[in-house]
Amino acid sequence: MLKRITLSLAALFAVLVIAGWSAQTYAAEKSHRIVFHLDDSDSKRMNLVLNNAANVDKYYKAKGEEVTIEIVAYGPGLTMLVAGKSPVEKRVKGFAQNYDNISFRACGNTHKKMIEKAGKDVPLIPNAKMVTSGVVHLVQRQEEGWSYVRP
């Protein structure tokens, strides 16, 4: 029995080597999808989310693994993506220039309420993409297998 298991493992190893599989190949093919949640207008929380996203990106890139990150802002957290009002606007714009795998999603429901309250358009930072509902977007991402983080 032990001989049969040993032969099976040896055969499997040979197939993997012939197919070009290695630990490095596995790491390069491994991909992570992470969605961060922001519903707080506190600049410390905004910076925490941005720091977390940058640190996660750095960690997986150092391991040779791909990572896709979305930061979803809704409710008071949408302030992070409001042009001229965001306390972290320069950092958010810098992310667009420095990270092609980190993106920002703005809640359409919250944005509509902001427009109604202001009585005028509320422009968002250019790299913010609108979703119909921030909460629904978070649910959909989790159902698609994304890892959810609320810093």
pLDDT digits (tens, 9 = 90+) for 41-58: 999 999 999 999 999 999
Per the CB < 8 A criterion, the answer to whether 43 and 75 are in contact is no
Query: For residue 1, what pLDDT is reported?
Result: 54
pTM, entire model: 0.80
Structure tokens at 138: 């978070």
| Better-predicted residue by pLDDT, 17 or 103 | 103
* 51-59 LR contacts (CB < 8 Å, sep 24+): 52/149, 52/151, 53/95, 53/99, 53/102, 54/95, 54/99, 54/102, 56/32, 57/99, 57/101, 57/102
Query: For residue 30, what pLDDT is reported?
Result: 79
30-149 CATH fold: Hypothetical Protein Ychn; Chain: A, (3.40.1260)
Query: For residue 7, what pLDDT is reported?
Result: 44
| Better-predicted residue by pLDDT, 14 or 98 | 98
Query: For residue 29, what pLDDT is reported?
Result: 60
- Measured from the Cβ of residue 128, the count of other Cβ atoms closer than 10 Å reads 23
Query: What is the arithmetic mean of pLDDT over 46-74?
Result: 97
Per the CB < 8 A criterion, the answer to whether 106 and 131 are in contact is yes
Per the CB < 8 A criterion, the answer to whether 64 and 28 are in contact is yes
Per the CB < 8 A criterion, the answer to whether 117 and 74 are in contact is no
Least reliable range by pLDDT among 22-26, 43-47, 93-97: 22-26
Smallest CA-to-CA distance from 77 within 15, 22, 4, 137 is with: 137
Residue 70 predicted with pLDDT over 50: yes
CA dist 56 and 39 (Å) reads 20
Query: For residue 69, what pLDDT is reported?
Result: 98
DSSP-based three-state secondary structure for 100? coil
pLDDT in tens, 113-129: 999 999 999 999 999 99
